[in-house]
């Protein structure tokens, strides 16, 4: 079992609700600093505000791009990524074009991811791009193709879900993703991870990052268990 500090560094502390307010983002950032989470993950309108609230800490700001559908143009996604990185975001969580993938337009999917990777890294070479595959919509062959296309396009992570689709992270999907990308990329499990047992199952399956809005509850559960 990981200790509290180790587990906290897996967590992208997330607030992506459409009704999220400045107060919600301030709370998110305060919690991230208190518990030592790796990052906060916010919608792009709140990047600058989150960066300000996290000044002086080592908590990074991650931002969603093309969220939650992935159906925006590559140009729009790239612009959103550029503006977010300029505002201080260090990680981009972009939704791939799921419709292109299901159409068999693999070139279009790769080109879409590549455009965001190139745009973000032109502003900050250290910026990380996570490709959200939304695995709940994909058949087995599409899952394999999505991972391979994200890898070939230069993404730094593959990510299971937006949390807005009909299904979230599944252990078997994380295992598949890890098998396909190995140690060449990170694997982020997100969507429906609300307790310690689920988080640990994802990590055991190969997740190197956990996206959750329940980070405080997960850490509290681990702390409670250690104190029993």
- Residues classed as catalytic: 93, 159, 188
Nearest alpha-carbon partner for 223 in 82, 35, 43: 35
- Cis, bond preceding 101 (omega within 30 deg of 0): no
Alpha-carbon distance of 210 to 136, in angstroms, equals 17
By the 10 Å C-beta count (0-12 exposed, 13-18 middle, 19+ buried), 172 is classed as exposed
Alpha-carbon distance of 55 to 13, in angstroms, equals 16
In the block, residue with structure tokens 């790796």:
38
For every residue of 14-56, DSSP letters joined together read: EE--TT--HHHHHHHHHHHHHHT-SEEEE-GGGHHHHHHHTTT
Nearest alpha-carbon partner for 21 in 48, 53, 45: 45
CB 54 within 8 A of CB 31: no
């Amino acid at each position: 079992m990981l200790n509290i500090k180790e587990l906290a560094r897996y967590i992208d502390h997330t607030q992506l609700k459409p009704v999220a307010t400045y107060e919600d983002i301030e709370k998110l950032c305060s919690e991230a600093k208190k518990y030592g989470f790796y990052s906060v993950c916010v919608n792009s309108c709140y990047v600058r505000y989150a960066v300000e609230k996290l000044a002086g800490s080592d908590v990074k700001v991650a931002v969603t791009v093309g969220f939650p559908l992935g159906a925006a143009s590559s140009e729009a996604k790239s612009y959103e990524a550029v503006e977010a990185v300029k505002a201080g975001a260090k990680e981009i969580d972009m939704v791939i074009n799921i419709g292109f993938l299901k159409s068999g337009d693999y070139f279009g999917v790769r080109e879409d991811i590549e455009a965001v990777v190139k745009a973000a890294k032109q502003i900050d070479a250290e910026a990380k791009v996570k490709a959200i595959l939304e695995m709940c919509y994909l058949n087995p062959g599409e899952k394999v193709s999505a991972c391979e296309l994200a890898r070939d396009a230069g993404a730094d992570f593959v990510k299971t879900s937006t949390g807005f689709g009909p299904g979230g992270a599944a252990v078997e999907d994380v295992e598949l993703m890890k098998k396909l990308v190995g140690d060449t990329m990170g694997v982020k499990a997100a969507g429906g991870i609300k307790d310690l047992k689920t988080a640990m199952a994802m990590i055991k399956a190969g997740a190197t990052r956990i996206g959750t809005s329940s980070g405080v509850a997960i850490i509290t559960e681990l702390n409670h268990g250690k104190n029993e």
